[in-house]
Structure 1
Amino acid sequence: MVWFFLVLVGILVPAVHAKTEQGDVSALTVMYGSLNYPSQLTGWKKSGGDPCGDEWKGIKCSGSKVTEIKLSDLGLAGSMGYQLSSLTSVTYFDMSKNNLKGDIPYQLPPNAQYIDFSKNGMTGTVPYSISLMSDLKHLDLGHNLLKDQLSDMFGKMPKLNYMDLSDNDLSGNLPQSFGSLSSLKTLNLQNNKFSGPIDVLAKLPLESLNVQNNRFTGAVPQKLQGIATIQTGGNSFTSGGNLNRQDHKDVKDGKGMSGTTIAMIVIGVLVALVLLLALLSRKSSSSSSASHFLDEEKLSERRSFTPLVSRELEPPSNFKELKSLQSSASIRVKSLQISPSMGVKRPVSEKMSSLSDAEFANRLNVRRSTSIRAIPYTLTDLQAATGNFATGRLLGEGSIGRVYRAKYPDGKVVAVKKIDSSLFQNGDPEGFSEMVTSISKLHHQNIAELIGHCSEQGHNLLVYDYFRNGSLHDFLHLSDDYSKPLTWNTRIRIALGTARAVEYLHEVCSPSSVHKNIKSSNILLDVELNPHLSDCGLAIFHERTSQNLGVGYNAPECTKPSAYSLKSDVYSFGVVMLELLTGRKPFDGSKPKIEQSLVRWATPQLHDIDALAKMVDPSLRGLYPPKSLSRFADVIALCVQSEPEFRPPMSEVVQALVRLVQRSNMNMRDDLSTSRRTDDSDQSDYY
């Protein structure tokens, strides 16, 4: 009997002592390592341990689950790890006033109510996963190094009552989903580079608002002017814009000028300004009327090489570069004005106004050609420019229709996508118009933007910029005398740029846009070999056609057109990355049967260093960093997983590729002579 009691005690005592659930232990262990095992975290262990049973500094539990992490002002460095989503019971998470670096982890405790990461050195942007935290009440990310635009991700956060994003480098307009923050009482956005109006805040129950020192414009809504505490100085608001709740008293000076005298002076100044503006407007109009098309390709040849990644990861060294780029951008916009032969007038509202240095620096990495709207072309002009859609002008053909090269007498070249008329039920012109409107809203530096359209006599045509370097498919799979192998750095740059384009469609556009047709032939390369994703906004046609992406690009779950999703896009992008790594086609019937499907052949070898080295595109001739290769393979492995729920969101893919570049210390300013086509203005590349 005594023996039985001792055995029972031996079994039960360890079970009672080891209280913490394993998922929480694992997450905190990863965090401990990511923080470089700081001595300040007394009680923490490098492996195992019992945070709830023992005394781990800053950790509080309820039963066997961790509920609070309070590690503020401890001089911690490093990052927070990647398993925070396992902490499902954590409601309070405070890492403020430390020296944390790197991006805010995409995966955060999903049920957190209080998050404070303020006063660190965190980079990247606000992770989209915050949009899933419906219980969040307090969010403080102030005093960090966050940048870029905010995604439109605040639509399902009804409990958020405090948000501080101040003292960062955030830019762009406030997302419309701000208007859904029905409980928000305090909002701090000061000392950023936000722009546009603040009308979206007008209906919020705000009691304290600080938007000082941004680039906001327009007027401060009347409803906001009644807030108890409001600070709006340092912006470009119109009348009544600089509110700071200080009493303003009229100053009376008995020795000063009379009110009548002051009024006359003011009127005189206003009259002079009106006359001056009229004179400048007349000169501007005269200059505009004399403008004409410039060949974008020739213009690009005169620009210095400024690849995508170097612009995204490195701040501009000085504003001379920015002004030079601004000048090029201005010419670029003017080059899209339609020549008189096309019979189309460009609306006055579309003329590009000059930007200040600060404004241009703010917009440089956000979007491309934002002031350009798709304009109508006439069928007669497009027929003339394409030789009546001659076979010799055909660039490519897909399930949607054919793409032709159009060249005008002044040298301007565009690509014209002629959509199969059978895709529009009963020739529905309104459907085409709605589609054009939708596509015209897509603005991103890595998306092939729509510049024109035409719907006449049963023809539905979309007009895009022409990319003379053709598609990524051409570069990788069509070896000829016109091209040289893409360098490793250029391949990474293409992957990152394309990932950013897909991230924009998935997580910035509202509602999210599934591409459904991501493949190397839809990734177009400009003269600097920066990628531009085409076919954006045409997903509806892939539901109506019997064809799909093609063998090799389809995710396993996509057995019918309606099955495509954000996660199937991620899979297709992973296949494109495999093409970049191996130089192989997604499916190649000329290979041995075991090697015909690229994903099936490559996936088992992605974590085998020796096998990986043998998989690399032979045309690279071993000129790549081994660590970079391994990290790139890790990202691919995540994207091409057979189960869609395990594939990462595109924002996480982008972050992983950015970290790859940063850790590899790549010189992204490649010598283009090692990987570009020769100048052949008549070369027919697939669009």
Structure 2
Amino acid sequence: MTRGQDIAYDLVLVLLSISLFILGIVLVMIICRRKPQKSDQKQQVLPVKSCAIAYQLTDIDAATDGFNHRRIIGNGRLGTVYSAMSPRGELVAVKRIHPRLVLSNAGFGFASIMKTLSLAQHPHIVPIIGFSQAPGERIIVMEFVGTVNLDFYLHENPDGASLLDWNRRLRVAAGVARGIEYLHEGMAPNTIHGCIKASNILLDVKFVAKLCDYGLWSLAPKEKRGLVGYVDDEYWGERGGGACKESDVYGLGVVLLELLTGRRSEHGLLVRWALPLIKSKKLNELLDPRLVIPSDIKPLLRLAKVASACVGNYRKDRPSIPQVTSILNNLEVEVCH
């Protein structure tokens, strides 16, 4: 081998060594970049929802200052709601079921039902954290979302109309539908809400709608107070009556009409007043007069048609909640984004 060939051979070896060295550095960089990505992916996985905690009644009593009336933040057909501090120092909402309902539902299986309902995990569902039971007492501990519900914004707060513009109302409508769809299709076993109405829809500080009081309708299945106007006529029938998926769809339809008109359900009068206006497309007479009618009225017309279908006379003819949710999701994307 000549001297020139020796030099060429040595040069090839040097270049090969440099290439291998560079390749090694590149491989190390790729591996180092992948590791944090795997870690990030693990962090994005939602944690498994833990079952409700069984609290001692003495703990609940202490957390609510002996059920002090100053801590009352709500009072409904099922019970009174108090603000409280959990043993972990977190602000929670405590619902104390009315004593008369406790006595009339001795075989309700409260603990078992609470443990099942507490597994619900969805952005539009108020999480159940725990419960407590004792002779004459049934108590539900929930995540504290806020003290303001949709009913207050629409019908009681003087500034509610301006705070709930058309975009926010569409977001609320879609959010409520997604929450109901999760109860009907996403939970195991499937859960009927049983009392879809504006006062059972809480709004957080970002106006995200969250359903509460789900799965508790059988505590007061025939009590009309607070329910008339939000359930269909078949609910009260002797055959096949009571709550079901179709009755939840009806309640959603009433809520949609409230969002559109700014009016209360008025024990069913809202439905009878609104349907002819929707059929004749007289939206100028239908829509909440406190808000400016948008230049493009087609999304609100579609919302009105969905509401009309939801409150149809017969359960078998109503759309399913997945169908309603799909339409409202598309409306939300089209108008709000």
Superposed pair shares fold, TM > 0.5: yes
TM superposition shift of 1:427: 8.1
Which amino acid in structure 1 is aligned with residue 336 of structure 2? Answer: N
Aligned counterpart in structure 1 of residue 152 of structure 2, from 474, 484, 492: 474
Q: Structure 1: which amino acid aligns with 2:259?
A: L
Q: Which structure is higher in RCO with an 8 Å CA cutoff and minimum separation 6?
A: 2
Q: How many residues align?
A: 299
Q: Residues of 1 paired with 2:109 and 2:86: CA distance?
A: 29
Q: Is 2:110 aligned against 1:432?
A: yes
Please name the residue that 1:615 is paired with. 286
- Structure 1 counterpart SS, 2:264: coil
Residue 560 (structure 1) shift: 4.5
Q: Are residues 1:644 and 2:315 paired?
A: yes
User: Partner residue of 2:266?
Assistant: 587
Decide which of 58, 63, 80 is 1:380's aligned counterpart.
Answer: 58
Matches within 5 A, 1:182-193: none
The answer to whether structure 1 residue 358 and structure 2 residue 29 are counterparts is no
The reply on whether 1:451 has 2:129 as its aligned counterpart is yes
**Of the candidates 662, 667, 675, which is equivalent to residue 336 of structure 2?**
667
Q: Compared with structure 1, are the counterparts of its residues 639 and 360 closer, same or farther at alpha carbon in structure 2 (3 Å cutoff)? A: farther
- Structure 1 residue 409: Cα displacement: 10
What is the one-letter code of the residue matched to 1:605?
A: L
Please tell me whether the aligned partners of residues 467 and 526 of structure 1 are also in contact (alpha carbons under 8 angstroms): yes
8 A contact 2:118–2:130 mirrored in 1: no
Q: Is the 8 A contact 1:516 1:542 kept in 2?
A: no
Structure 1 match to 2:17: none
- Correspondence 1:53-452 to 2 at 5 A: 356-361=39-44, 363=46, 370-407=48-85, 412-424=90-102, 428=106, 431-452=109-130
Q: Which amino acid aligns with 1:496?
A: A
1:395 & 1:648 partners in 2: Cα distance? 35
**Amino acid in structure 1 at the alignment position of 2:163:** P
* Aligned-partner SS, 2:224: coil
State the shift of 1:397 in Å: 2.4
How much has 1:585 moved relative to structure 2?
A: 0.2
CA displacement at 1:622 relative to structure 2 = 2.4
- Alignment of 1:567 with 2:284, yes or no, is no
- Residue 519 of structure 1: which of 179, 184, 197 is its match? 197
Q: 2:269 aligns with which of 576, 580, 597?
A: 597
In the alignment, the residues of structure 2 paired with residue 516 and residue 635 of structure 1 have an alpha-carbon distance, to the nearest angstrom, of: 20
Compute the displacement of 1:532 (Å): 0.8
> Could you list the runs of 5+ residues in structure 2 that have no partner in the other structure?
1-36
Quote how far apart the aligned CAs of 1:515 are: 1.4
Change (3 A) 1:653 1:442: same
**1:356–1:524 CA distance, 2 compared to 1 (3 A):** farther
- 1:427/1:512 CA distance change after superposition, 3 Å: closer
1:553 aligns with 2:230: yes
- Cα distance, 1:507 vs structure 2: 2.0
Change (3 A) 1:624 1:521: farther
SS in 1 for 2:74: strand
Following superposition, the deviation at residue 607 of structure 1 comes to 3.5
Q: Output the aligned Cα RMSD.
A: 2.8
- Give 1:538's aligned residue: 216
Give per-residue Cα distances to partners, 1:489-512, cap 9 Å, x unaligned: 111111111111111122223443
Q: 1:541 to 1:503 in 2, by over 3 A?
A: same
Map Cα deviations across residues 428-466 of structure 1 (whole Å, 9 max, x no partner): 598221121221222222111101212235422110112
Report how far residue 393 of structure 1 moved: 2.0
Give, as a single letter, the amino acid of the residue that structure 1 aligns with 2:207.
L
CA contact (8 A) 1:403 1:415 kept: yes
2:326 equivalent to 1:655: yes
Structure 2 vs 1, CA of residues 428 and 552 (structure 1 numbering), >3 Å: closer, same or farther? closer
Report the alpha carbon displacement of residue 387 of structure 1 after superposing the two structures with TM. Answer: 2.6
Deviation digits for residues 583-634 of structure 1 (CA, Å, limit 9, x no counterpart)? 110007xxxxxxx81000001111433x212221122222474111111111
* d(CA) in 2 for partners of 1:457, 1:469: 29
- Secondary structure of residue in 1 paired with 2:266: coil
Task: State the TM-score, normalizing by the size of structure 2.
Answer: 0.79
**Which amino acid in 1 is paired with 2:332?**
V
Residue 395 of structure 1, CA deviation: 2.3
- Give me the whole-angstrom Cα distance separating, in 2, the residues matched to 1:361 and 1:650: 28
Alpha carbons of 1:426 and 1:410: their partners in 2 closer, same or farther (altered >3 Å)? closer
Specify the SS of the correspondent of 1:445: coil
- Cα distance in structure 2, aligned partners of 1:426 and 1:446: 31
| Contact 1:471/1:525 (<8 A) preserved | yes
Change (3 A) 1:597 1:432: same
Q: Is the 8 A contact 2:161 2:290 kept in 1?
A: no
Question: Is 2:183 the counterpart of 1:500?
Answer: no
SS of residue in 2 equivalent to 1:460: strand
Q: How much does 1:373 deviate? A: 3.2
Q: Distance in 1 between matches of 2:89 and 2:294?
A: 39
Aligned-residue offset at 1:359: 4.2
Cα offsets for 1:511-535 (capped at 9, x unmatched) = 4322111101001111111111111
Percent identity over the alignment is: 36
How far 1:361 sits from its partner (Å)?
Answer: 4.5
Does the CA-based 8 Å contact 2:161-2:291 persist in structure 1? no
SS of residue matched to 1:399: coil
- Greater percentage in helix: 2
Cα separation, 2, equivalents of 1:397 and 1:412? 22
